[in-house]
Structure 1
Amino acid sequence: MPTNTNDGSLNRLNDVLQKSLSGTIVLPQNPTADAVAAATALYLSLNKAGKSVSLACSSKVGFNLTGVDKIQSQLTTSGDNLVISFPYAEGSIDKVDYNIKGEHFNLIIAPRQGYPKLDPKQVKYTYTGGSLDFIIIIDSPTLNSLGPIYTENEKQFQGKEIVNIDRHLTNSFYGTINYVNKTSSSISELIFKLVQNLGIELDRDIATNLYAGISSATNNFSSYSVTADTFDTVARLLRLGAIKKTIQKPNLGGTRGFPSQPMTRPFNPPPLNSFGGGFNEVPDTITPIEDVEKEPRGAQGSTPQDWLKPKIFKGGSGGLV
């Protein structure tokens, strides 16, 4: 019967992970930075605890977090069978052979004439033939949120211990264990509590991923979902050596938004003398100062003789005298 309470979920999940040896952590299509940070931190923690765990996501993930390079595009199971994978074009291989020299087994892959030789940097190694004890699903309200990893491998999900770790309001509690907190600030905060409950010691890489995930999900700790518990978690991560860094999002080609510099037209002010009465307006004639000083007083209108006499107001007849 599915477990829905968080305390019960943590205890049940602790029991399952303690008894299990192998499993996988699956991300939804187009995961958020918080989801990737949480998944990689959990991956690093379980590997540190000696578990055989893989990471899977239907979408390509390119965040600058430790462990992102371990994310595969398909569901893989651990086992004893070594699988060697590399890019292949139809008709590009002429033959595959092997030989044994001393204590070394050599696999020989000969390209067909006209095709490039195999690049060792593109060769990947995985194991298969084993079985999954558990599947941990991160930040997915439904199984269909996983995309092709689920829709093309539904049988591998049947009969497995499905651990549903999420905070979406629309989560349908599809797991056999549901560690769902719809008021949590981030998935990374939930993973921190889980790792602490498992008794796994967090190193700098794990702490840094979780710190970056919480920071990204809360818009640098400014969202309304941030609580005192969130700040307490962040403080613990910093004490564990978390490095403050911003998660760089994958470059999807091109940017949108405002241009870096505003598009402005140069402003050319009109000349001052273009307006009537401007400062640069030149009078028609200029009188030299010498001629001004020679002008007789009163030449342009004389001052009245009674100008300096006191004026008396008479109330009877009115007026000034």
Structure 2
Amino acid sequence: MIDAAKLTQVSELFAQAKTIFVMVPSIISADQRAGAEALVSSFIGAGKEVQFFSPEEIHHESFPESEDIIPLHELGNQNLCVSFEYEPEKVDNVSYHIGEKTGRFYLTIRPQRGQKPLDPKTVEYSYTGAEADLIFTVGVKDLTELEQLYLEYEDFFSKLPIISVNSFDPEFAAASVNTGSSPSVSQEVARLLSDLGLDISSDSATKLLFGIESATKNFSSRTANAETFETVGRLMRNGARRISQPVSGLMPATVSPVTTSPMGEIKVQEKKTVSKKKVAKG
């Protein structure tokens, strides 16, 4: 649960941000994933520029996936970079122009007289750089869990405020949404979105409901409380659909048959082991 002071801090950071990154580690629960993707959807609905990141692809059985919410695996995707082998004595000048009719950008590399022109095979294209105003992390205990997303951009992370959604308050976060006392991350995210005055789409409501059911084992966990069912009610009014959860655990391998006697008494038939004796042939 987030207290009033922290909620005010989160609200102010969110209001000031135009571009928001939502990040999760490679290994997360279905509940954490549901919370993260719901944040992405609601932030986009609020008019923010949002990007969703994970070091690797995420898979959860039966998860209600969305085609428009797919995590990126590389952070540097802001600027197109063109690189090639450069030898000053071979290059006369580099210029560019934009075609009036085509509207295309043309980069011209003119070699020195007597030198061979640049070999197109040596030209490489890549994306670099990242720009954001705020980062939300969900289920991240340490920033190194973000692997290449963090390790190659530590300076980038050091300059931005980070809001953590986790069961404790990590040192790297400027503000935290502590889910430690809640039955699920999804329940706390639903509360946070409501406190921020953000809409929850039917798809996001479905994901949050899936997350709550996953974390509470279809509401059988003793951690489920009155607020859990109040949250479920709100989500279903927002159009949430119940998705069949993966079945965990195994049924007993054998079950003893049960019969009733003429007097109505219940009897459990016991299996008898019959041993076969070898008969010596005379």
With normalisation by structure 1, the TM-score equals 0.59
State the partner residue of 1:55: 52
8 Å contact from structure 1 (residues 27, 39) kept in 2? yes
SS, match of residue 71 in structure 1: coil
* CA shift for structure 1 position 230: 0.8
Q: Distance in 1 between matches of 2:196 and 2:217?
A: 28
State the partner residue of 2:95: none
State the partner residue of 1:45: 42
State the partner residue of 1:233: 231
* CA shift for structure 1 position 69: 4.5
Is structure 2 residue 163 aligned with structure 1 residue 163?
yes
Is structure 2 residue 139 aligned with structure 1 residue 139?
yes
- What's the C-alpha RMSD, in Å, of the aligned pairs? 3.8
State the partner residue of 2:268: none
Q: Alpha carbons of 1:68 and 1:258: their partners in 2 closer, same or farther (altered >3 Å)?
A: farther
Q: Distance in 2 between matches of 1:130 and 1:261?
A: 55
Q: Distance in 1 between matches of 2:39 and 2:14?
A: 12
Deviation sequence 1:252-277 (CA, Å, 0-9, x none): xxxx9979988xxxxxx99xxx99xx
* CA shift for structure 1 position 13: 0.9
SS, match of residue 136 in structure 1: strand
8 Å contact from structure 1 (residues 25, 136) kept in 2? yes
Specify which of 191, 194, 216 is matched with residue 214 of structure 2.
216
Specify which of 11, 14, 23 is matched with residue 11 of structure 2.
14
8 Å contact from structure 1 (residues 163, 177) kept in 2? yes
Matches within 5 A, 1:89-168: 102-103=101-102, 105=104, 131-168=131-168
Deviation sequence 1:182-211 (CA, Å, 0-9, x none): 111111111111111121121211111111
SS, match of residue 229 in structure 2: helix
User: Percent same amino acid among aligned pairs?
Assistant: 26
* Larger-gyration structure (1/2): 1
SS, match of residue 162 in structure 2: strand
State the one-letter code of the partner of 1:57. Answer: S
Deviation sequence 1:28-57 (CA, Å, 0-9, x none): 221111111111110000001110111111
With normalisation by structure 2, the TM-score equals 0.67
Q: Distance in 2 between matches of 1:261 and 1:198?
A: 50
Q: Alpha carbons of 1:67 and 1:9: their partners in 2 closer, same or farther (altered >3 Å)?
A: farther
Q: Distance in 2 between matches of 1:130 and 1:152?
A: 11
* CA shift for structure 1 position 77: 6.4
Q: Distance in 2 between matches of 1:5 and 1:198?
A: 12
Structure 2: tracts of 5 or more residues without a match: 82-97, 107-119, 122-126, 255-272
8 Å contact from structure 1 (residues 33, 213) kept in 2? yes
State the partner residue of 2:20: 23
Specify which of 21, 32, 35 is matched with residue 35 of structure 1.
32
Deviation sequence 1:99-139 (CA, Å, 0-9, x none): 969446499xxx99xxxxxxxxxxxxx9x756211110101
Structure 1: tracts of 5 or more residues without a match: 85-98, 113-125, 250-255, 263-268, 276-321
Q: Distance in 2 between matches of 1:206 and 1:59?
A: 22
8 Å contact from structure 1 (residues 6, 181) kept in 2? no
8 Å contact from structure 1 (residues 77, 132) kept in 2? no
